[in-house]
Structure 1
Amino acid sequence: MRKYVTALGDTWDIIAYKMYGDERKMSVLIEANPQHRETVFFSADVALQVPDVATATSTVLPPWKR
């Protein structure tokens, strides 16, 4: 598990994009940091836990990429 220290104005989706490259993984961050679940905009220097997430890679290509 990694840590992330927030910058002023960070939001859950921005942090998820920075850490995972996908803002839709913000729910993983919120679940790992329940004490901050009501926070919308973070102040600076808040330490958050960033769990490792397995990235699913599909071996099936769509028809236009075959």
Structure 2
Amino acid sequence: MTPSGQYILHVTTAGERWDLLSWRYYGDPTDYSPIIMANPNVPIEPVFDAGISIAVPLQQKSAAVTANLPPWKVSQAVSD
């Protein structure tokens, strides 16, 4: 889930990749699709050059993620 219009601006360094951005911001290297979709003007290259501005959509924790957690873990999962 992406809140409409809420992004983090990331300026790349040489050698960064879509999966590394996904790992850094979402904790999952395979969840790079929202980042790619939010940046239609950025060519899908295997490795970035330095200085490319990337909009990284903020993602909210899903209720399904917290549904099976004990109460003392829910607030921690939501605040991450």
Q: TM-score normalised by the shorter chain: which range applies?
A: 0.7 to 0.9
Residue of structure 1 in register with 2:23 after alignment: 17
Q: If the length of structure 1 is used for normalisation, what is the TM-score?
A: 0.79
SS at match of 2:13: coil
Matching residue within 46, 53, 57 for 2:59: 53
- 1:35: how far off? 1.6
| Matching residue of 2:44 | 38
| Deviation (angstroms), 1:50 | 0.8
CA drift of 1:58 comes to 3.2
User: Could you list the runs of 5+ residues in structure 1 that have no partner in the other structure?
Assistant: 62-66
CA contact (8 A) 1:30 1:37 kept: no
Structure 1 Cα separation of the partners of residues 68 and 25 of structure 2? 26
Q: 1:43 to 1:6 in 2, by over 3 A?
A: same
Q: RMSD over aligned Cα, in angstroms?
A: 1.4
Q: How many equivalent residue pairs?
A: 61
**Cα pair 1:9 1:42 within 8 Å, conserved:** yes
Percent of pairs with identical residues: 30
Gaps in structure 2 of 5+ consecutive residues: 1-6, 70-80
1:60 Cα deviation from its structure 2 partner: 2.2
Contact 1:2-1:52 at 8 Å conserved across structures:
yes
